[in-house]
Structure 1
Amino acid sequence: MVVFAVPAEVAVILLDIEGTTTPITYVKDTLFPYIRDNVKEYLCAHWEEEECQQDISLLRKQAEEDSNLEGVVPIPLETGNGEDEVEQVIQAVVDNVHWQMSLDRKTTALKQLQGHMWRAAYATGLMKGEFFQDVVPAIRKWREAGMKVYIYSSGSVEAQKLLFGYSTEEANAAEEADMHVAVVVRPGNAGLTDDEKSYYSLITSFSELFLPSST
């Protein structure tokens, strides 16, 4: 087993999600397809709720800011002209969300709606989080050792709370912020260059993080 010794001065463990705590395939093949396939049904079911209307308002504002981009789908305002108009607005939101996702955009408006949709799916049992087997035991061990554990991600706060990607670029950023870095090599992750393999401490499981003795 390869062991990465955690320096004694470390009091916080900072984890990424995609490809670190959670398989990349779960995010790519489950989370995002769920949004694409269910956004219209979600909007119809939650249309009258204040939270949903706030999400739509934020998406409408983003569409206005994106008005100069090719392919953008504007979201019209409602004028109270009945069900046909509501259907038109919902379809515009659906088309806008699909357009943003096709470009892999990470706007606040899109992330907010996605977070609310995932929350509803988790609450009703339609979705369950997926983690590598070593994640939960490792977090428990770190907490018992008095360490704080945090998650960082480009996803919404809502999505991070619900779920809990790895990339070499993120490792670089962490190191530039004076953090101690260990890269977790998981199935399905992008391959590392020879230079990256020789430069970074590589582990394949959180069990390989050796904590200093508290005595």
Structure 2
Amino acid sequence: MTQLPYRAVVLDIEGTTTPITFVYDVLFPYARERVAEFLSNNLDNPEVQRDLELLREQAQEDAAGDFPNAPQVPADAAGNALVEAAVTNIHWQMDADRKTTALKSLQGKIWKDGYAAGTLVASVYPDVFDALEHWQSLELPAYIYSSGSIAAQKLLFGHTEKGDLRPQLAGYFDTTTGPKKNAQSYLDIAHLIHQAPEDVVFVTDNLDEANAAADAGMQTRIALRPGNAPLPEHDHPTLTSFDALFEA
């Protein structure tokens, strides 16, 4: 068997393992339509309260920085007023395609209810199933690094068209590890998975992320999937299927 030129794999989700259409046409609208009801029903939940505090802090940080018109979540708001302020901020963040920790955490909780009810089933490219099985047979660890929360990642891979893929994944990373466009985040991931950066291959559809991973010393692949945005010229190897990761 040909020896693979890497010892671990780190995968993006959106546009890499999962069609962008599932994220933007299914997951995001699902959370947007249900966030007000979810908050109203869960205001007393300590985890939701922590998310709302993070949302409040993020709104203040945004207003003091690059987003002076960011909708605020007043500290003295309660009940319906709190829900209304939070929903306004969440919808504003979603319209701007923000990737903040508070937003992703709340979205993940809403998706959890949808997966549990069977109203959400995650879409994953067919070659991903085969690749995960192959890596597992080689005892080569595969990890996920996404802007979506770790909880949301586990929900997605736990509820796919082919069932639960979580046993085939070695671990998960999100923005709590660091921004995806920051080279230090990839150095930290390599350290946490006990691999030299040059022995790790990172697959993403995002050029800025690939550049950051390459700056950290990782191998990179740009995923060219149907529906992905066109990219400017770059020096990263590309793939249209994970099958390419097993070629000599």
Place the TM-score, normalised by the shorter chain, in its bin. 0.7 to 0.9
Measure the CA separation in 2 of the matches of 1:151 and 1:122.
Answer: 19
Q: Is the 8 Å Cα contact of residues 35 and 114 (structure 1) preserved in structure 2?
A: yes
In the alignment, which residue of structure 1 is the partner of 2:239? 203
Give the C-alpha shift of residue 7 in structure 1: 6.1
**Secondary structure at 2:60 match in 1:** helix
Q: Could you list the per-position Cα deviations for residues 117-136 of structure 1 after superposition, in whole angstroms to 9, with x for gaps in the alignment?
A: 22222122221111001111
Give the C-alpha shift of residue 78 in structure 1: 5.3
Q: Which of these residues, 77, 81, 105, is aligned with residue 98 of structure 2? A: 105
Q: Does 1:142 align with 2:135?
A: yes
TM-score normalised over the length of structure 2:
0.71
Larger RCO (CA within 8 A; separation ≥ 6): 1
Measure the CA separation in 1 of the matches of 2:218 and 2:140.
Answer: 15
Measure the CA separation in 2 of the matches of 1:172 and 1:163.
Answer: 26
In the alignment, which residue of structure 2 is the partner of 1:29? 25
Q: Does 1:48 align with 2:39?
A: no
Residue identity in the other structure for 1:134:
D
In the alignment, which residue of structure 2 is the partner of 1:158? 151
Any stretches of 5+ residues in structure 1 without a counterpart?
A: 1-5, 80-84
**Secondary structure at 1:134 match in 2:** helix
Give the C-alpha shift of residue 14 in structure 1: 1.2
| Structure of higher CA gyration radius | 1
**Secondary structure at 1:14 match in 2:** strand
Q: Does 1:90 align with 2:86?
A: no
> What is the RMSD of the two structures over their aligned residues, measured on CA atoms?
2.4
Give the C-alpha shift of residue 39 in structure 1: 0.6
Residue identity in the other structure for 2:62:
D
Measure the CA separation in 2 of the matches of 1:91 and 1:192.
Answer: 38
Give the C-alpha shift of residue 9 in structure 1: 5.0
Measured at CA, do residues 184 and 107 of structure 1 come closer, stay the same or move farther in structure 2, by a change above 3 Å?
Answer: closer
Residue identity in the other structure for 2:69:
G
Q: Which of these residues, 185, 192, 216, is aligned with residue 177 of structure 1? A: 216
Q: Is the 8 Å Cα contact of residues 78 and 86 (structure 1) preserved in structure 2?
A: no
Any stretches of 5+ residues in structure 2 without a counterpart?
A: 158-203
Give the C-alpha shift of residue 53 in structure 1: 1.9
Q: Which of these residues, 67, 72, 76, is aligned with residue 74 of structure 1? A: 72
Give the C-alpha shift of residue 107 in structure 1: 2.1
**Secondary structure at 2:210 match in 1:** helix
Residue identity in the other structure for 1:132:
Y
Structure 1 stretches of 4+ with a deviation exceeding 6 A read: none
TM-score normalised over the length of structure 1:
0.81
Identity %, equivalent residues: 45
Give the C-alpha shift of residue 67 in structure 1: 4.0
Q: Is the 8 Å Cα contact of residues 4 and 246 (structure 2) preserved in structure 1?
A: no
